[in-house]
A = this chain, B = another copy of it.
Amino acid sequence: MQPRLQDIANELGVSAATVSNALTGRGRVSPALRDRIRATALAMEYRPSPQARALRTGRSGVIGLVLPDLSNPLFPAIAQAVESAAAAAGFGVLIADSRGDTGTQTDALRRLERQGADGIVLVPRRGTRLMAMDLPVAVIDTASTPGNTAASDHRGGGALAVAHLADLGHRHLLFLGESRQSLVQSDRIAGMRAALTPQMQAETLWLEDGGDIAATRATGIIATSDLHALTALTTLHRSGRRVPDDVSVIGFDDHAFGRAITPALTTVAQDTQAIAGAAIASLAAQLGGAPAPHERIFPMTLTRRGSTAPAPNPNTET
């Protein structure tokens, strides 16, 4: 059986309370005894019972992570970052996948609460209305979301992509989104639009409307995600246009497959580490009694790979 606090106490002829004080460093224990206690605790491979500690202190050391859909390539990166930030802060991470549905999302939040999570990191399903919870919550979405805690500067990211293509001499762009409902996507496209120079023009194609990517005459395509960039890239290939020779393509979020394809995908990435860290820090602060820190926005970075190149000579076009 696992040794308990009392076992260590018996071993040294002291009380369990003293052992607790020595290990947590909170009470008053003489330095000499403290060291002896720590040494024997180590020797006996003592592990405090998380359940007992949780019961007494009201803190489980576990936070919940609610994601819209793990099978969407966008989210595992966030999950990974949150997990590692949480682990670094001494928290475990309970996951819950809301599978797209906002109802399931509510269930997931309730379930995590029931399971004793100390706080929750929520990546909200689009169109979610935050319900009142008696747990600290950190929201990762966009600056446009009320109650948002940490997010990337999606507009700035969009601007980065446009600036990159502008530098390469592109004048005619296509912005590729999937759903107008997604705040992240519309923020990115808003940023793109705002960064256009007077010499440039751009059209926007929403995949939810249908429409043929290959029909465009744009020389640069910026998709709101790597997934749609991939669609663009393969569709273009198939219709005989070459990437990046004829058309340049940029994606978002730096998914693994972007490096697996030929040409590799130029992409605008989030600093998921920083965002996850900020979310966890916000929870930790709230748990420590501090008010929720204000929203933090992190810049995105563009990674240039093979899918972008200087615009083709206009003379050979038309």
Q: Which A residues are within 8 Å of any B CB, using their own CB? A: 47, 49-52, 54-55, 60-62, 70-73, 75-77, 79-80, 83-84, 87, 92-97, 99, 111-116, 227-228, 230-231, 233-235, 237-238, 255-257, 260-263
Distance A80 CA – B75 CA, assembled complex (angstroms): 11
Check if A50 sits within 8 Å of B227, measured CB to CB: no
- Closest residue of chain B to A113 (Cβ to Cβ) is B47
Determine which of B49, B71, B76, B233 lies in contact with A70 in the assembled complex, contact meaning CB atoms within 8 Å. B76
Tell me the minimal C-beta distance from A61 to chain B in angstroms: 7
- When distances are taken between beta carbons in the complex, the residues of chain B under 8 Å from A55 are 49, 51-52, 54-55
Check if A94 sits within 8 Å of B92, measured CB to CB: yes
Tell me the minimal C-beta distance from A227 to chain B in angstroms: 5
* A-side interface mostly: helix
Copies of this chain, complex-wide, total 2
Check if B111 sits within 8 Å of A87, measured CB to CB: yes
Check if A235 sits within 8 Å of B262, measured CB to CB: yes
- When distances are taken between beta carbons in the complex, the residues of chain B under 8 Å from A115 are 50, 61-62, 92
18 A–B contacts, CB within 8 A, in A order: A47-B113, A49-B55, A50-B116, A51-B116, A52-B55, A54-B55, A62-B94, A70-B76, A70-B80, A71-B256, A73-B255, A80-B97, A84-B99, A93-B95, A227-B257, A234-B237, A234-B263, A237-B238
Q: A94-B94, A234-B237, A257-B257 are in contact. List 16 more A-B contacts (CB 8 A).
A: A49-B116, A50-B115, A51-B116, A54-B54, A55-B55, A61-B115, A62-B115, A70-B79, A71-B76, A76-B76, A83-B96, A92-B115, A230-B260, A230-B261, A231-B260, A237-B237
- When distances are taken between beta carbons in the complex, the residues of chain B under 8 Å from A230 are 257, 260-261
Check if B83 sits within 8 Å of A50, measured CB to CB: no
- When distances are taken between beta carbons in the complex, the residues of chain B under 8 Å from A96 are 83, 87
- When distances are taken between beta carbons in the complex, the residues of chain B under 8 Å from A52 are 55
- Closest residue of chain B to A59 (Cβ to Cβ) is B51
Distance A51 CA – B54 CA, assembled complex (angstroms): 6
Determine which of B62, B73, B83 lies in contact with A73 in the assembled complex, contact meaning CB atoms within 8 Å. B73
Check if A71 sits within 8 Å of B77, measured CB to CB: yes
Distance A255 CA – B73 CA, assembled complex (angstroms): 9
Check if B257 sits within 8 Å of A73, measured CB to CB: yes
Tell me the minimal C-beta distance from A32 to chain B in angstroms: 28
- When distances are taken between beta carbons in the complex, the residues of chain B under 8 Å from A83 are 70, 95-97
Check if B260 sits within 8 Å of A238, measured CB to CB: no
- When distances are taken between beta carbons in the complex, the residues of chain B under 8 Å from A70 are 76-77, 79-80, 83
Distance A99 CA – B116 CA, assembled complex (angstroms): 27
Check if B231 sits within 8 Å of A262, measured CB to CB: yes
Distance A85 CA – B54 CA, assembled complex (angstroms): 26
Distance A279 CA – B241 CA, assembled complex (angstroms): 47
